[in-house]
Amino acid sequence: MVYDIAIIGAGPGGYIAAIRAARLGAKVALIEKDRIGGVCLTRGCIPSKTILASSDRYREAKKLSKFGIKLNNLTYDYSEIFQRKEKIVQKLNRGLAQLIKANEIDFIKAEACIESKNILKVISESAEERIEFKNLIIATGSRPGSLPNIRLDREFILDTDDVLKLESLPDSVLIAGSGAVGIEWARIFNGFEKEVILVEIAPKLAPALDGSISDALRRELKKKKINFYTETNIEKIRGKEVILSNGQELTPDIILLGAGRVPNIEIKGIKDLNPEMNGKFFRVDNNLRTNIDNIYAIGDVNGICQLAHVASHQGIKAVEHIILRQEVGIDYQNVPFIIYGNPEIASVGYTEDALIERGIYYKKSIFPMSALGKSVVEDEIDGFIKILADDKKILGIHLIADNGAELIQQLAIAKGAGISPEAMKEVIFAHPTYSEAVYESILGLSEEFLHLPPGLKMKV
Ligand SMILES: Cc1cc2nc3c(=O)[nH]c(=O)nc-3n(C[C@H](O)[C@H](O)[C@H](O)COP(=O)(O)OP(=O)(O)OC[C@H]3O[C@@H](n4cnc5c(N)ncnc54)[C@H](O)[C@@H]3O)c2cc1C
């Protein structure tokens, strides 16, 4: 049999591509050497958010007396939290396996090697076979990176894979990097009342984000008693002692490297096809196609934007290009980016600095969550929504707020679908909800705030 599409890697890029292709009537082979779900399900988004959910519940439970609820002897058992994470990953993994089967996708648990531009050799523990295909999608993802002068020993110095394997929590952790992973684990450890020290080499926290968010994050970390150092790196590790470039000497129980990811480009046989590279990633065109006309590369392995939802969207679009001949044209300015801090940080589109740098005209509106009834009810008054827009469209949204990861989506829809701020003013927002802050921040673009005094400009 000749497959219409063979896909290497069943992460959120590969398995979603397989489902979309099967729904469009293609005969699909999905080859995965590990577990369906990839990094996202087994070592990334889902297990980390499961642990985060427990950490948050514990943090919230400690606040319950404020809500008139008395709880005595509050404690947690990390081994149960660990087991819950394992069970959830297994459950979702089983669900995906059923979904793959129900879509009549041939799932092959094996390592895929490339023999030619139309043939894969798939090697499992028990067998080796060749499969023929018309089109190939490479969705092999990425693995944790490391820092140049630091050797992982997986006991004292850990990466994001290792930290998920801990069955008990250390009392203190030094986290290198204040990006999405670093901030998320800072929130987790802090929630469990562990000492956290964040070390960031850039001058500001979460350096990729809008400056106002970095500043707010700085304040939030201070409030939560999370120590951090910017413009600092780990200079030396001597036994269990860490020496920072600012001269600080620390003795954390573990070091977690939240550094970048390395793409899995070392597929056996691929070099013979001479794929063009973009640094360490496979180079792809606007249709996610490599320089080999029937081979596509999606998700973390092309390095465009290393997020699960981007991998999935690229998977759908690559398949639509193969089967329907539709141009892909993804606008990466519409990708929501979340940092699961406390409160959650979310952004889409241009930062204010980027607009200034490009000389793009914009208006700005900032609405504080503290001015909202819902935030006061929930005792979650920290943060704000900042919208940058021209007279017709939204250019950027940067927010830090309780439930920010959900809140951003309505503005991302407006931005992505080209709904103007004027049109959004006609929408009725339910009360009392956090979404009212979206409405207010839209009104603020034309100085029409309802729940802020006239003329007041929020400084963040
Ligand atoms: C701790 C952590 C938390 C994260 N949280 C989030 C989050 O909240 N939101 C978000 O959007 N993103 C998050 N990410 C990023 C997200 O996990 C990745 O962007 C996403 O998994 C990339 O999907 P992918 O399909 O490109 O590759 P992957 O998920 O890496 O999957 C690739 C698959 O290919 C398989 N493979 C590789 N080579 C071969 C071969 N030769 N033969 C067969 N199979 C092969 C691998 O075994 C793997 O299963 C997180 C990452 C980490 C590490």
Please pick, among 309, 313, 398, 431, the residue that the annotation labels catalytic.
431
431 is catalytic: yes
How much distance in Å is there from the Cα of 346 to the middle of ligand 1? 21
How much distance in Å is there from the Cα of 321 to the middle of ligand 1? 22
Q: Which residues line ligand 1 (CB under 6 A)?
A: 8-14, 31-34, 38-40, 43-45, 48, 111-112, 139-142, 160, 181, 264, 267, 299-301, 306-309, 311
Q: How far apart are CA 385 and CA 369, in angstroms?
A: 7
How much distance in Å is there from the Cα of 38 to the middle of ligand 1? 5
302: left (phi over 0), alpha (psi -120 to 50) or beta: alpha
Ligand 1 site-directed mutation target among 35, 40, 267, most atoms within 8 Å of CB: 40
CA 353, 197, 261: angle at the middle one, nearest 5? 60
Give the pLDDT confidence score for residue 147 in this predicted structure.
Answer: 83
Q: Enumerate domains of the chain plus CATH numbers.
A: 2-143+262-330 (3.50.50.60), 157-259 (3.50.50.60), 334-444 (3.30.390.30)
Residue nearest to atom 48 of ligand 1 (CA): 38
Q: How far apart are CA 383 and CA 191, in angstroms?
A: 18
The one-digit pLDDT tens for each residue of the chain (460 residues) are 999 999 999 999 999 999 999 999 999 999 999 999 999 999 999 999 999 999 999 999 999 999 999 999 999 999 999 999 999 999 999 999 999 999 999 999 999 999 999 999 999 988 999 999 999 999 999 999 988 888 899 999 999 999 999 999 999 999 999 999 999 999 999 999 999 999 999 999 999 999 999 999 999 999 999 999 999 999 999 999 999 999 999 999 999 998 789 999 999 999 999 999 999 999 999 999 999 999 999 999 999 999 999 999 999 999 999 999 999 999 999 999 999 999 999 999 999 999 999 999 999 999 999 999 999 999 999 999 999 999 999 999 999 999 999 999 999 999 999 999 999 999 999 999 999 999 999 999 999 999 999 887 777 7
How much distance in Å is there from the Cα of 93 to the middle of ligand 1? 14
Instruction: Kindly report the pTM of this predicted structure.
Output: 0.97
Residue nearest to atom 37 of ligand 1 (CA): 140
Instruction: Output 268-273 pairs: Cβ under 8 A, ≥24 positions apart.
Output: 268/111, 268/113, 268/114, 269/113, 269/114, 269/115, 269/121, 270/114, 270/138, 272/114, 273/114, 273/116, 273/117
